[in-house]
Amino acid sequence: MKSRSCVTTRQPRISRHWEPLSVASSTDLPTLVLLHGLLGDGRDWQPVIEAMPGIDCHALDLPGHGSNKGLRLSGFDEAHEWLCGELAARGITRYRLAGYSLGGRLALYHASQSPAGLQALLLENCHPGLPVAERAARLEHDEGWARRFEREPLAQVLADWYRQGVFADLGEEARARQMAKRLGNEGRAVATMLRATSLGKQPDLAPWLGKTRLPVRWISGSRDHKFHRLACQLVKQGCNINHLALDGGHNLHASQPDTFARLLRDWVKQPEEKSHD
């Protein structure tokens, strides 16, 4: 795969792309960049960030979400270019990157393009990509959801979205809270992002994980059986990941912000990390 390194030239900061979810940091630590999942925004990381004083954190709004609802992408290459632009606009040249679910997949693709300045990667309940034979079915599956987000009342679609198996650990009260948080989304923007970043469009990055020398920490929730199984399979395949399982479901940083903050803080402060279990 041809590498696409980030342009590190300083660009003007675009205010509508900026999420002020950062705290003063020690200059000897790299910046921590955080990417949320589908339907979320940068504020999802706020409880985690507040538990990590002294670390410079930048929680970005993905295209189609939060302050970037009007920003559209066509695929993973554009997502990589968007992230490079966000980093350049903030003058970030040395960073660790963490992503959850969709944000993890975008972070993984970004890392596979060998961007200058990326020091380590942390992925929370993330999918490495499907074999070619399974991608058409996934595209059809995601297209079904995209049409619903476009055409149906958002509350109705969210009620079904959060009944998917990966959210099985959520109780009724937690599910209702999650749905209420997501009602600020725009259905068409979500549909566009879902199509652009469908798992059916993502390359299978397991081979890259098998040869990369970049330190990769992979976090799974033991009660999220699908993604925990995927992580264990990557380890068995000999991928260069450091796998850690937490007792939890799909959205670990939301359900266990203090635990996740300790994990991130320790990870950021490690000057070097072995990339194998």
Q: Over the stretch 228-241, which tens digit does the pLDDT of each residue have?
A: 999 999 999 999 99
Average pLDDT over residues 75-90: 97
Confidence at 158, pLDDT banded by 50, 70, 90: very high
Q: Where in the chain is the domain with CATH 3.40.50.1820?
A: 15-131+203-269
The answer to whether residues 103 and 109 touch, using CB atoms and an 8 Å cutoff, is no
The confidence score (pLDDT) of residue 27 equals 54
Query: Helix H segments across 16-170?
Result: 46-50, 76-89, 102-112, 132-151, 154-161
On average, the pLDDT of the chain sits at: 89
Q: How far is CA 147 from CA 44, 104, 141, 188, in A?
A: 25, 24, 10, 9
- Residue 273 makes CB contacts below 8 A (sequence gap 6+) with 120, 215, 217, 242, 267
In the prediction, which pLDDT does 29 show?
Answer: 75
Q: Domain 15-131+203-269 maps to which CATH number in 3.90.1150.180, 3.40.50.1820, 3.30.40.230, 3.40.190.10?
A: 3.40.50.1820
> Can you give the pLDDT at residue 6?
55
The first and second tokens of residue 42, run together, are 């940068």
pLDDT for the residue numbered 273: 46
Taking the C-alpha atoms of residue 30 and residue 268, their distance in angstroms, rounded to an integer, is 7
User: Which of 18-22, 25-29, 100-104, 222-226 is the least confident region?
Assistant: 18-22
Give the model confidence (pLDDT) of 6-49 as tens digits: 543 333 332 222 233 444 444 577 899 999 999 999 999 999 99
Q: Which amino acid is at 168?
A: A
- Is a pLDDT exceeding 50 seen at residue 276? no
Q: In what order do the strands lie in the sheet with 95-100?
A: 57-60, 31-35, 95-100, 118-124, 216-221, 242-246
pLDDT at 191 over 80: yes
Amino acid letter, residue 98:
A
Cα 128 from Cα 244, distance rounded (Å): 16
Q: What digits encode the pLDDT tens for the residues 166-189? A: 898 888 998 999 999 999 999 999
- Measured over the CA atoms of residue 224, residue 230, residue 232 and residue 235, the dihedral's sign is negative
pLDDT of residue 133: 98
The predicted model scores a pTM of 0.89
Q: CA 37, 41, 43, 45: dihedral to nearest 10 degrees?
A: 20
Distances (CA, A) of 157 to 7, 23, 193, 243: 39, 36, 16, 33
Rounded-to-integer distance, Cα 67 and Cα 59, Å: 12
Average pLDDT (78-104) is 97
Is 18 or 163 the better-scoring residue by pLDDT? Answer: 163
